[in-house]
Chains A and B, each alone.
Chain A
Amino acid sequence: MSAAVRQPNAFVAAPLAGEAGIGGSLDVRGDFPILARTFEGRRLAYLDSGATSQKPAVVIETMSRHYREHNANVHRGVYALAQEADAAYHEARRRVAEFVGWDAKTTIFTKNVTEAINLVAYAWGRHNVSAGDAVLTTQMEHHANIVPWQRLCRETGAQLRYLEVDQRGELSLEQLDAELARGDVKLVAFAHVSNVLGTIVPVAAMTERVRAAGALSLVDGAQAVPHMPVDAAALGADFYAWTGHKTCGPTGIGVLHGRAEILEEMEPFLTGGDMIASVSFEGATWNELPYKFEAGTPPIAEAVGLGAAVNYLSGLGMKRVRAHERELTAYMLERLSEVPGLAYVGPPEAGTRGGIVSFTIEGMHPHDVAELANRGGACIRAGHHCAQPLMQRLGVGATARASLGVYSDREDVDALIDALLAGREVFGLDG
């Protein structure tokens, strides 16, 4: 591979080197009530955190307490209860922004990452992208970071181009340079961590090049923020999106961070209540940031829950979370290699990937693999993982995917391996 491809690894390895003295093992399973469940007497081995994370008791209880004690609508009430709700919502935004090193004022609550990306595609894209321009994304994106750009480009006559994924499951900075040199790229949208390959993308090296070319960058951090320290400002992204439910928080809340100058210039996405400064029968003026982009009653209890979730994760320390998951990823890769006929996609070293491993087993369809894993209590996903173009690129119809969370441990991985080996017997693959 070329030097340009190696560079990402060096970049990724650097901050991890400082973790050498940090204990690689967390034991927080007891913080997550659902993990006490058993299925037909078997311990729950939840290995689908890439789809959604489980929730610690502190998140569940904080949301419950909000509804029991502090519930009122925000931004309007003068009574004491409404002020409590306002304060809780405000504090949640402050914590969520701080968690990834961003300003609260330019931290917008959305429904999820999909809505965050659609917000940018509509509110920024429709006014800044036109025929003759290009939007650049990559072959490893989730549908959420492809379809909004396809639609934008179809509507504006702009061109959508894709950075290729190589055999290691990585992108090439040389190809990015070549694409940017064409001079027509307005925005580059890419994932921080691939939801299929697990690849950790060298975000800072990418955004630096994008900025130098006069384009904007949008980073989908859905699979990064829950699993490693992220300083979105230091990474140099113009937009950075992530979601609550993968980050030990509730569903129904996502986060979009945007650079202030860009957000100020943008038109609103959805319009209606809460996002206006004044309304007459003739027209309206827009509220200040971040409220300009939060039309209607926001997900208040969800914001409070997400605030509790990032507090919980900060308490564990994201460096420790990453060290724990990195060590467990190495263990999972090692144990998976014991299963005959198993092949996985993405980088082979735990140091350059997140805790997501997609794999196939010769002679068994991924759907059957997931079914047989379930018999050992192991919850894994099978399918295209909302990344059909990547599946085409990999030349597979589907894969099975095991993904780790902060609460995952070796016993979870062992349960999966035992179930896969037993599954091979069911399919008569060992005789």
Chain B
Amino acid sequence: MTDDLYRDYILEHYKHPRNFGEDLDPHDLQGLEHNPLCGDELEVQIRIKDGRIDDLRFNGHGCAISQAAASIASEELKGMALEDVGQLNADWAIGLLGIPVSATRRKCALLGLKVVKGAVTGDNGWPVSDGYNS
């Protein structure tokens, strides 16, 4: 059975998230964000080298969508220049996820990007789209 939302790779990332743990030693940046809607919590540790993300670890708990989104994004974020991280928006994170995200699940999909951008830029706002900012 193919599920629109809970596709095999989403559940795969949820059950075996990449770059998860709290053992990135040493690390240069860290951040912690909550999704007040569902009580999710996500922490990140980031190591920087030559102005780029050298390595990172997520840690926390959340739904399949938020965990898979963070896991998938973590693979793209490794090696990315910090100034490029600052430019990432909601469309990037949701596009990477590759599933239809309803309005109520949007914040689940964006929590990972939010905590990374917060750690890198100090901007703790929810990532917005190119178009409608919600």
Using A426-B3, A428-B11 as known contacts, say yes or no to A368 and B63 having CB atoms under 8 A apart: yes
Q: How far is the CA of A425 from the CA of B11 in the complex (A)?
A: 12
Q: Nearest Cβ distance between residue A399 and chain B, in whole angstroms?
A: 9
Q: Which of B33-41, B73-81, B82-90 contacts A (4 or more CB under 8 A)?
A: B33-41
Let me know if B61 is at the binding interface, CB within 8 A: yes
Point out the residue from A371, A397, A398, A425 that lies within 8 Å of B105, measured CB to CB. Answer: A371
Cβ proximity bits B2-17 to A, threshold 8 Å, 1 near / 0 not: 0101100001000000
Let me know if B31 is at the binding interface, CB within 8 A: no
Let me know if A226 is at the binding interface, CB within 8 A: no
Contact B108 A367 (CB under 8 A): yes
List residues of A (384-431) whose CB comes within 8 Å of B's CBs.
Answer: 384, 388, 391, 397-398, 425-428
Interface residues contributed by chain A, number (CB under 8 Å): 17
Contact B5 A371 (CB under 8 A): yes
Q: Nearest Cβ distance between residue B15 and chain A, in whole angstroms?
A: 8
- Can you sample 30 A-B contacts with CB below 8 Å? A364-B64, A365-B61, A366-B38, A366-B63, A367-B38, A367-B40, A367-B62, A367-B63, A367-B105, A367-B108, A368-B63, A368-B64, A368-B65, A371-B5, A371-B105, A382-B38, A384-B39, A388-B39, A397-B39, A397-B40, A398-B38, A398-B39, A398-B40, A425-B1, A426-B1, A426-B3, A426-B6, A427-B6, A427-B11, A428-B11
Q: How far is the CA of A384 from the CA of B64 in the complex (A)?
A: 17
Let me know if A383 is at the binding interface, CB within 8 A: yes
Q: What A residues does B37 contact at CB under 8 A?
A: 383
Contact B62 A365 (CB under 8 A): yes
Q: Nearest Cβ distance between residue B91 and chain A, in whole angstroms?
A: 22
Q: How far is the CA of A367 from the CA of B111 in the complex (A)?
A: 14
Q: How far is the CA of A427 from the CA of B3 in the complex (A)?
A: 10
Given contacts A365-B40, A397-B39, 4 further A-B contacts (CB under 8 A): A367-B63, A382-B38, A383-B38, A426-B3
Q: Nearest Cβ distance between residue B41 and chain A, in whole angstroms?
A: 6
List residues of B (1-57) whose CB comes within 8 Å of A's CBs.
Answer: 1, 3, 5-6, 11, 37-41
Q: How far is the CA of A356 from the CA of B65 in the complex (A)?
A: 27
Q: What B residues does A367 contact at CB under 8 A?
A: 38, 40, 62-63, 65-66, 105, 108
- Give the interface centre of B11, B64, B108 by most chain A CB atoms within 10 Å: B64
Point out the residue from A365, A388, A398 that lies within 8 Å of B64, measured CB to CB. Answer: A365
Q: What A residues does B39 contact at CB under 8 A?
A: 383-384, 388, 391, 397-398
Q: What B residues does A365 contact at CB under 8 A?
A: 38, 40, 61-64, 67
The 3 closest A-B pairs by CB, nearest first: A365-B63, A367-B63, A398-B39
Q: What B residues does A364 contact at CB under 8 A?
A: 64
Q: How far is the CA of A388 from the CA of B35 in the complex (A)?
A: 12
Q: How far is the CA of A228 from the CA of B38 in the complex (A)?
A: 30
Point out the residue from A371, A397, A427, A428 that lies within 8 Å of B61, measured CB to CB. Answer: A397
Q: What A residues does B3 contact at CB under 8 A?
A: 426
Chain B residue nearest to A384 in the complex (CB): B39
Q: What B residues does A427 contact at CB under 8 A?
A: 6, 11, 64
Q: Nearest Cβ distance between residue A394 and chain B, in whole angstroms?
A: 11
Q: What B residues does A366 contact at CB under 8 A?
A: 38, 63
List residues of B (93-133) whose CB comes within 8 Å of A's CBs.
Answer: 105, 108
Q: Nearest Cβ distance between residue A48 and chain B, in whole angstroms?
A: 14
Chain B residue nearest to A399 in the complex (CB): B39
Q: How far is the CA of A368 from the CA of B49 in the complex (A)?
A: 37
Q: What A residues does B108 contact at CB under 8 A?
A: 367
- Give the interface centre of B3, B63, B105 by most chain A CB atoms within 10 Å: B63
- Give the interface centre of A365, A382, A388 by most chain B CB atoms within 10 Å: A365
Q: What B residues does A383 contact at CB under 8 A?
A: 37-39
Q: What A residues does B38 contact at CB under 8 A?
A: 365-367, 382-384, 398
- Give the interface centre of A367, A398, A425, A428 by most chain B CB atoms within 10 Å: A367
Q: What A residues does B65 contact at CB under 8 A?
A: 367-368
Q: How far is the CA of A369 from the CA of B1 in the complex (A)?
A: 18
Q: Nearest Cβ distance between residue B124 and chain A, in whole angstroms?
A: 19
Q: What B residues does A384 contact at CB under 8 A?
A: 38-39
Q: How far is the CA of A365 from the CA of B38 in the complex (A)?
A: 10
Q: What A residues does B62 contact at CB under 8 A?
A: 365, 367
Q: What B residues does A391 contact at CB under 8 A?
A: 39
